[in-house]
Amino acid sequence: MASTTITASDPVTGNLTMSDNGNTNCKHDELVTWVVLPTSGVDQITAISPKTGNINVFATGPAKLSGASKNWQGTVKNSASLPIPTPPGFVVENYNISWTDNAGNNHIFDPKIQVNP
């Protein structure tokens, strides 16, 4: 399982501080989890989606975990469902994390996810 932790946020810039510096590495068919620390300043994540023009590397989700959790999960597609990168190697998706700060203001942050062969 791949996981990244959101440790802090900047409500002025909309940036999130992530444990992997905003570049999550994972493998095909792997479960990816975004963990939001209670002290991060993030009230909630409202969406995790590919940026316009990028492929969606997820077979399911990402979606919020049930209950009062602020955390999200998604399962990466298998290798047959993703394009073969040129040159051969890994597939990178730029995606958006839409989030709300503790004051109720909405922001968008744009990290990357890298699917390794």
Structural domains of the chain sorted by starting position, each given as residue range(s) with its CATH number in brackets: 2-116 (2.60.40.420)
Query: Residues of the chain whose pLDDT is less than 70?
Result: 86-87
Distance CA 87, CA 81 (A): 18
The predicted model scores a pTM of 0.92
Q: Which pLDDT score, from 0 to 100, does residue 82 have?
A: 82
Q: Which two tokens stand for residue 5?
A: 């932790």
Q: Which pLDDT score, from 0 to 100, does residue 67 have?
A: 86
From the list 7, 5, 8, 9, the residue with the least C-alpha distance to 105 is 9
